[in-house]
């Protein structure tokens, strides 16, 4: 659903492909799914609606491509962190950085509003953005010295969810939030 199909004729312009996805991401974040249009995305990307429709026949396919294109820089590998806690912290810091680098929370809000009409878009966001991060964080927690009775799925949800909760209740996420939230369940060892 999110990959434009190659058709015979003139080859696609990769710069225009990128411009369409950037304009689509910006409008999805700023206007939401309901208010963005193929016309406004085409104008912002410096192209025409027919050119955009050759790539993405409708708004749902364009948004799926936008979600698929969102760049999520991965956290460092476990071997790059001196301890499992340091690795968990690096994952949360990376998550925080990615939330700031792209309109992820605005896009998520728009997708939640459209969940009933387009559940596949929220599913794609989960698969592309949320699930890989959760899996890495769960692995880091499992490698740590947390009690064996700890519910790793619940802890993972609490840690990741705290970013969303903090954003909504405090109108922003402080720079030190990753360490503050991790310290509530996994205090650093005195050194």
Domain span holding position 145? 78-185
- Indicate if 55 and 128 belong to the same structural domain: no
- Indicate if 94 and 146 belong to the same structural domain: yes
- Indicate if 59 and 87 belong to the same structural domain: no
Instruction: Return phi, psi of residue 187, to 5°.
Output: -60, 145
Q: What is the pTM of this model?
A: 0.77
Q: Could you give the number of structural domains in the chain?
A: 2
Which of 50, 69, 88 represents a domain boundary (last residue)?
A: 69
- Cβ atoms of 165 and 188 within 8 Å: the answer is no
DSSP secondary structure string for all residues of 114-150: TTTT-HHHHHHHIIIIIHHHHHHHHHHHHTS---TT-
pLDDT in single tens digits along all 191 residues of the chain? 545 555 566 678 899 999 999 999 889 888 889 899 999 999 999 999 999 999 999 999 999 898 888 766 777 777 788 899 999 999 999 888 888 776 778 888 888 998 999 999 899 888 888 888 889 899 999 998 888 888 999 999 999 999 989 988 887 889 999 999 999 999 988 76
CATH of the domain at 57: 1.10.10.60
Which of 37, 69, 101 represents a domain boundary (last residue)?
A: 69
């Amino acid at each position: 659903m999110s990959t434009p199909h190659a058709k015979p004729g003139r080859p696609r312009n990769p710069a225009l492909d990128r411009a369409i996805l950037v304009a689509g991401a910006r409008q999805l974040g700023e206007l939401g799914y309901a208010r963005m249009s193929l016309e406004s995305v085409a104008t912002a990307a410096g192209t025409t609606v027919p050119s955009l429709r050759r790539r993405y026949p409708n708004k749902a396919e364009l948004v799926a491509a936008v979600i698929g294109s969102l760049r999520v820089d991965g956290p460092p590998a476990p071997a790059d962190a001196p301890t499992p806690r340091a690795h968990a912290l690096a994952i949360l810091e990376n998550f925080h950085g990615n939330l700031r680098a792209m309109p992820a929370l605005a896009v998520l809000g728009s997708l939640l509003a459209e969940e009933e009409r387009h559940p596949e878009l929220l599913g794609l966001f989960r698969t592309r953005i949320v699930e890989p991060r959760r899996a890495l964080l769960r692995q880091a927690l499992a490698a740590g010295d947390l009690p064996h009775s700890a519910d790793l799925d619940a802890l993972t949800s609490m840690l990741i969810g705290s970013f969303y909760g903090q954003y909504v209740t405090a109108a922003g996420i402080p720079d030190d939030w990753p360490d503050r939230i991790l310290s509530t369940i996994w205090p650093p060892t005195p050194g």
